Amino acid sequence: MEISVIGCGRWGSFIAWYLNKIGHSVLLYGREGSKHMKQFQETRTNGLVSLPAKITLTTNLEEVMSNDVIIISVDSQGLRGLMNEITRHSPLNKIFVLCMKGLEISTGKRLSEVAAEYVGQNNNIAVWLGPGHVQEFLGGIPNCMVIDSENKEVKEKLIDEFSNELIRFYIGEDLIGNEIGAAAKNVIGIAAGMLDGLKLSSLKGALMSRGTREISRLIKALGGNELSAYGLCHLGDYEATIFSEFSHNRKFGEMHVKGEKFDRLAEGYYTAKALQKMSAEYEVELPICDAVYKVLYEGKPASEVLQNLFLRSLKTEFWS
């Protein structure tokens, strides 16, 4: 397949590397002036991913649109602006694959919903979600991921073309549940990092049990399958998010409670705000997400908020 990848950060560059490795023709796009793209143009590496000469680098969005499959891996809050730019090129019969985990703060919309506003009529949209870290994939450590779409033929085609021994893809059956679960697990990751920073890591078991249950309630309220919270896109991604040294969200939470600066993207920061709005709109109690929101946006002491969270009045275990 001839594939364009938009976004030359950690994940975008890995995706380009991976798809080239399994035999596809790949073009990688970065904005003019992007420090990541400049580094690739000068050295073909960002210190983590080294791109072979067969991968074409470009800062021309029109060139990107010449391919039929376009993978997007950018900051979730920048997706709407990017899609607006893409519509100027009148895409037709393209497959847009969103390889990103988040929710739009201003609207609370899932990212596939945002993309569909711009290209939904004459194109197909899919999502690529699930656990895995670039560092581990590059070290040859395999994992399982999910591709989902409202179009059955599209997701089956992508899974057939993208699977190999490094990444085994599963067919997603619940776009709502998989997107919400994937976005929300980053907020749970921040909570896990806060526990690490407070030396309360033993509470991660309770965090995992309660976190999965509260997100399942939200998925159900939104019209998805609540069991999706227990699949690869949420619970299945906990190991990579709650425990891994490579998790940006976990590290962000840990450094936040220590009063240290974290200068990398942690999507859970934005998702916590979007989930706060959803909680109120759909009248779904999200105590863990609410606790993270209070710490990050209201300046409440993490030690106090998390103690209250885990010592709050008892119900029937975590299931009510």
Residues involved in catalysis: 185
Please list the residues that pair with 145 across neighbouring strands: 169
Distance of CA 1 to the CA centre of its chain: 24
- Integer Cα distance of 61 and 50 in angstroms: 22
The first and second tokens of residue 141, run together, are 């450590």
Residue labelled with tokens 């979007």: 274
Contact assessment for residue 270 and residue 105, using Cβ atoms and an 8 Å cutoff: yes
Residue type, 181: G
Residue 226, strand partner residues: none
8-state DSSP, 76: G
Which residues neighbour 234 within 8 Å (Cβ) at sequence distance 6 or greater? 181, 182, 184, 185, 212, 215, 228
Distance, in Å, from the CA atom of 6 to the CA atom of 36, rounded to the nearest integer, reads 12
Q: Under 8 Å CB-to-CB from 267, ≥6 apart: which residues? A: 75, 76, 100, 101, 102, 183, 186, 248, 249
Cα separations in angstroms, 60 against 54, 82, 188, 228, 262 = 18, 13, 37, 38, 31
Encoding tokens for residue 276?
């706060």
